[in-house]
Every structure is written in structure tokens, then in C-alpha cells.
Amino acid sequence: MGEKAELYRFPLHEDLSLLFSQKSNGRLASDRDTSVTDMPYFNYTDYLHGSIDYGFSFQNSDVKNELAVDVTGGGHSNNLSGAGTGPLTPNSSISSSSCEANGDEEQGRYKKADKMKLEEDREEDKGDDEDCDKSKKVQKPRKKGEKRQREPRVAFMTKSEVDHLEDGYRWRKYGQKAVKNSPYPRSYYRCTTPKCTVKKRVERSYQDPSIVITTYEGQHTHQSPATLRNSNWMTARNFSAVAPALGRDLMMQQLFHPMMGSSTTSHPLLGAIANPNIYLPSVSAAPSPLQAHQLLNSDHGLLQDIIPGQFIKTNP
DNA sequence: CGCCTTTGACCCGCGC
DNA sequence: GCGCGGGTCAAAGGCG
């Protein structure tokens, strides 16, 4: 397979698996080659200013291609709606997630409070819940009218042979479910760090089994263990691992401030590296993935000062 | 022994 | 109300 750097971006959709099974803009995304490119997109500006930025790159020997994704504007709801860019395509299937992501702010707050409460309850359960009837309920009942709160989600699609990609954090698998219309199960992971409520779902695209869809929910409240272990945190692995724990601007500043005049880089490629959610080909003045790759190579001297060599993937 | 995965059961939200 | 699918729990077992 011709391995070239690929950056995909995704519509605002809660369940990425639907990308391959549902209609996109009224058209069945049955053609795997077009299932991504036919998606309604954000523009470059949206990615820089709107969506959450979980800059992940999986450095894994089994990772063939690295894909960047964005699922929801999530907790940064105001970014999406406030920007007024209206990244959502009206007739796309992303409306539900947009509600989740940036819809009713009141509800969002409400949900968040509920989630926090649930987490607290869970903590308390371990301590003083001896008198609780454990034999009956697996989960605690909620008060009426309260809905389960969802953290903002960000998904990544990675071409990989392994399901669980190393991202610098430690995860404990807590569930696995068969996915409807897919032969591949979906795995549920939770960050093992105490007090960190980040979860991730890992599933394989049934349209393209070589693609692993990883959906992150929540934000880490800590640095990645990999970062702590390695003083030189700007390794490829740590770069990617730390990214989710850092705010976009902070990350951009830390990574590129010495080189860039502003946090939003004027170099599309660097922007893409800092923000893999950017789908380069969609940017009018941006290079194609191949061009980007070539640019990466040609700019290596410059980039190596910023990006570790191993982070800049090259064709085998 | 601690950490992790596996797995069946259960809960919840939603559409019909 | 019911059924379905997604998400979570927790016991059991595996592994280093």
C-alpha cells in the first residue's frame, strides 16, 4: 500500500462509525474511498478557532497512517456556536452531536453537573456505601429528569493493525460491545489515573478494517505517564500524549511560540502538525497530503527544530 | 499481588 | 410500553 501521510478530518458526529454507514449529504457513504471525503467539513478556520483540538499522533510501529479527526466541539461549545461559522451542514446527520457538543448551553451545564455528581457518587460509593443494596443494581438510579452527561468527544481515525494504540496514557478496558452492522466490537477504556475521568472508545471501521476509530471523551487532568517518565517531553510520543491535556492555545504556544508570531500559525503545515484536526487539502492554499508530506521533507530542517524527526512520518 | 482483560448482566435513552 | 442499541458495572480469570 502506498503509505503517504494522510490527514483526514471528520464531520461533527458523535458516532464515527456512522460515517461509514449513514448517508452523507443525502448520499450513501458506501464507497469507502469517498466515505470520508464526502463528509461535511469544517473549514480551516473552524479547526483553528472552533473545534476542540486533541492533537494526537500515535507512534506505533503498527500504525500505518495517521489520521486526524474531530468529532464534537464538545465542552468548548461556545467556540463552535459562538464563532457563528456554522460548521454544521443543516441536512447532515450531525445534528444530534451538535446538540451534544454545542447545542443547549443550559442543558450542557446541567449535564455536566450531573456527570460530576455521578462521578462523586461513584467515589462516595467506594467509601460509605456499605449499606447500599449492591445485589440489585449495577448502576445507581438517577433522579428523574436528569440525563447522563457526556463529555466532549474527539475522535481519531488511525490506520493501524492494532486496535489499542499507544498514546502515552494508561488505560483500563472496562467493556466491549458488539457494534451493530459491524463485525468488529467496540472496546471501552478508562484512564487508570485516579480522578481522571477520560474515556475512550476504540472500534474498527467495518468499511475499512485497517482503520481504527478512537474516540476520546473528556480531558485528562494530568500529564501522560510517558511525559513524566521522559524529561524530554517533546518526543513524538509525548507530543501526542500531552496534547489532549493541554489547551489548544497553550499547546500552540509551547510548541510554536518561539517560531510563530501568533498562536495560529501562518504555516498551514505547521498548523496541521500542531493541530492535526486540520484537513490540509481543504485549505485553499494548503498543500495536498502528498504535497504536505513533500513539504515536510523539504522543510525538514526547519521542522526538526520544532518537531522531532520521528514525529514527522515519512514514507517507507 | 496488583493490574489488566474478558464477559454477561444490567441500566439508560430513544424511537416506534 | 416495549424493544433495541449503546454504555457501564463488576466478578472471574489471566498474566507478569
Give the CATH number for residue A198: 2.20.25.80
**A21 occurs within a structural domain:** no
Residue whose CA is minimally distant from B12 C1'? A148
**A234 occurs within a structural domain:** no
List all nucleotides in chain C with at least one atom under 7 A from a protein Cβ. Answer: 4-11
Whole-number Å distance, CA A108 to C1' C11? 35
pLDDT classification of A198: cutoffs 50, 70, 90: confident
List all nucleotides in chain B with at least one atom under 7 A from a protein Cβ. Answer: 3-14
pLDDT classification of A277: cutoffs 50, 70, 90: very low
A135 in contact with nucleic chain B (CB within 7 A): no
Q: Please give the Cα distance from A303 to A262 (Å, whole number).
A: 17
Three cell numbers written together for A226: 510517558
Residue A176 has pLDDT above 70, yes or no: yes
**A185 occurs within a structural domain:** yes
Q: Model-level pTM?
A: 0.52
| CB neighbourhood size of A202 (10 A) | 23
A117 in contact with nucleic chain B (CB within 7 A): no
Residue A4 has pLDDT above 80, yes or no: no
**A26 occurs within a structural domain:** no
Determine contact, residues A20/A242, Cβ cutoff 8 Å.
Answer: no
* Residue of A182 and A174 predicted with greater confidence: A174
Boundaries of domain holding A209: 153-228
Q: Please give the Cα distance from A132 to A130 (Å, whole number).
A: 5
Three cell numbers written together for A130: 456499605
**A200 occurs within a structural domain:** yes
**In chain A, which residues from 174 to 193 place their CB closer than 7 Å to nucleic acid strand C?**
174-180, 186, 188, 190
**In chain A, which residues from 281 to 310 place their CB closer than 7 Å to nucleic acid strand C?**
none
Which residues in A205-311 belong to E strands, given as ranges? 211-217
pLDDT in tens, A64-84: 554 544 444 433 333 333 333
Closest CA to A274 of A315, A316, A231, A242: A242
**A201 occurs within a structural domain:** yes
Task: Report chain A's mean pLDDT, rounded to a whole number.
Answer: 48
**A72 occurs within a structural domain:** no
What nucleotide is nearest A140 when CA is compared to C1'? Answer: B11
* pLDDT the model gives residue A218: 81
Residue A46: beta bridge partners? none
Q: Please give the Cα distance from A246 to A250 (Å, whole number).
A: 6
pLDDT in tens, A8-54: 444 333 334 344 333 333 333 333 333 333 333 333 233 323 333 44
Measured over the CA atoms of residue A20, residue A21, residue A26 and residue A30, the dihedral's sign is positive
**A41 occurs within a structural domain:** no
pLDDT in tens, A226-255: 665 554 444 444 334 334 433 333 333 333
Residue whose CA is minimally distant from B4 C1'? A172
Which residues in A2-86 belong to E strands, given as ranges? 23-24, 27-28, 63-66
A175 in contact with nucleic chain B (CB within 7 A): yes
Whole-number Å distance, CA A173 to C1' C15? 15
Closest CA to A283 of A302, A264, A300: A264
How many domains, chain A? 1
